[in-house]
Amino acid sequence: MLKGFHPLEYNMLGDESPLIFPVLLIILSTWLIPRKIEMYLEKLPPQLGKFGFYSHRFGPLVLVGFMILDRVKAIFQRDVSYLEISQRLGSGEFQYADLRLLVTGDGAPEIVMFSLLLFALLSHKLPSISTSSYELRMTVQHRIMTYISFSVLVSFWIFFPESSYYEPSSFPLQTTLSKYGDYSISVVILTALLILVNSELFAITTIAHSNEGLDILVRRTKLKMYLILPCLIYALSNSVQSTDSWWMNISQNGEFMMILFFILQSFGLIFVTIPSKLNESFLQHGDGRSNSLTFQLSISVFILFVITCLFLANHEPFNDGNGYLLESSWLVVGMLGLISASLILPNFGFDSAARPELWWIRMVLIFGPSIIFIFTPYAIFIVPACLLLLPISIVHPWVIETDVLSPSLIKVLFPLVGLMILILSFSIFTEWPLMTFIILGWLPSLFAAKSIEIYLKQMKVLETL
């Protein structure tokens, strides 16, 4: 060795194993289309196909498990070459209380991801679908894998920042952060459960047909979501991320906003797509479908722009000047780009829903904001507009299409519009308009879905008379 030369020693995971994150993201990307990947692997030579299958299925679980073990090792050794250890624990003897960081510090996303990946791999054994066919159980598993993969990919940059895995230019000489971590244990657990139940709801809504097993899964999943949602919203409102600093500097609390996007997805799946899957099966051939789709697109442009402007103008830094108009325009352009791309998909065979174009618009309204959030932190301000458009998408096919008997406007449409205006007005005049609307924004969707459901029951009664 040359005299005076000392090779660099890297101890943090990203420096020691620089390929772990690219490999993890690549394999997780294959989970977006697991059925296609596994069908392709079946065509390969047996040994190669088997290796590819196990790598595709278990690769993410092994890699995340390795990340967790590496973090546990650093905590046991009080390795101050890890930034989190030097910031929160410092040097000294290991204490069992230090393991709290696994669920309240940078290890929390790793624990959550490992749990979700394990659930996805075991989801074909869900008790609700135990009596269903093997093909259906594998379809449910594939859809759960797709949702969990999407959730990890869109939030990876938030929950797995470079600072947690790569050595910084300098380390603090003493602890600078709380040894108890930043995350609330209750928020971590409830968020993991929320994503888990969301994956079940996604699987149900993306399977066009229904059977006894799926019906049982729907009932059980709804009950779980009705328990998890209010508990998470309450825990979130009392967590450190929901203080005034979030509203003063919105770009600095990405974890809090990402959880809000998961809550939006829960609202959309449980109150919109699941009821619509059943209700829209009673729609006729669709005379006037073009007019219905045109109306949805037109009202989407109008509401996305107007409502986004309204909420941006009530929050810093957009409450002075006209900057909210430019930001709203970019957000709307992003959403319309996603909607335009989604409307092409039915031409490629993704058309199993009763109204495939409308189904894809709903999917964009539910998942689009979390995608746009990758590019701008202000994507959270488009959520209120999405929550208003979702109930409209439930009602308008029954009103505009001409080959179905429309429900009473006085009993359905007018109360829905009144409820939307009431919630919007109440939210704007509160101290936190955006958070207030997100908390209450699911009510119009619930009202719209239940109104159509009651209307269909009345129609069935009249047909039997």
Going by C-alpha positions, the residue among 406, 296, 405 that lies closest to residue 359 is 296
pLDDT of residue 85: 78
Q: What is the dihedral of CA 303, 309, 311, 315, to 10 degrees?
A: 170
Structural domain contains residue 75: no
Contact 377, 257 (CB under 8 A): yes
Distances (CA, A) of 440 to 230, 303, 376, 422, 424: 11, 18, 24, 11, 9
Structural domain contains residue 464: yes
Structural domain contains residue 247: no
Distances (CA, A) of 362 to 174, 191, 299, 342, 422: 50, 23, 13, 10, 23
Structural domain contains residue 71: no
pLDDT of residue 290: 84
Q: Could you tell me where the DSSP H helices lie in 160-252?
A: 185-205, 212-237, 244-248
Structural domain contains residue 456: yes
Domain residues for the domain of 416 are: 281-465
- Determine the angle formed by the axes of helices 212-237 and 134-159, rounding to 10 degrees: 20
Long-range contacts of 211-218 (CB under 8 A, 24+ apart): 211/132, 211/136, 212/131, 212/132, 213/128, 213/129, 213/130, 213/131, 213/132, 213/136, 214/128, 214/129, 214/132, 214/136, 214/140, 216/128, 216/129, 217/126, 217/128, 217/129, 217/140, 218/274
Domain count, the chain: 1
pLDDT of residue 16: 77
Structural domain contains residue 60: no
Residue-wise pLDDT tens for the chain (465 aa)? 444 433 444 467 767 778 888 999 999 999 999 999 999 999 899 899 899 999 999 999 999 999 999 888 888 888 777 777 777 777 777 778 778 888 888 888 999 999 999 999 999 999 999 888 999 999 999 999 999 999 999 998 888 877 677 776 666 666 767 777 778 888 899 999 999 999 999 999 988 877 888 889 999 999 999 999 999 988 877 764 444 445 554 445 678 888 989 999 999 999 999 998 888 777 766 677 888 889 999 999 999 999 999 988 877 777 777 888 988 999 999 999 999 999 898 877 776 777 888 889 999 999 999 999 998 888 989 999 999 999 999 998 888 888 778 788 888 889 999 999 999 999 888 877 888 888 899 999 999 999 988 888 887 777 676
pLDDT of residue 225: 93
pLDDT of residue 5: 37
Structural domain contains residue 31: no
Contact 372, 365 (CB under 8 A): no
CA–CA separation, 108 and 305 (whole Å)? 36
Structural domain contains residue 317: yes
The single-letter code of the amino acid at 324 is Y
Going by C-alpha positions, the residue among 363, 381, 250, 240 that lies closest to residue 304 is 381
pTM of the model: 0.90
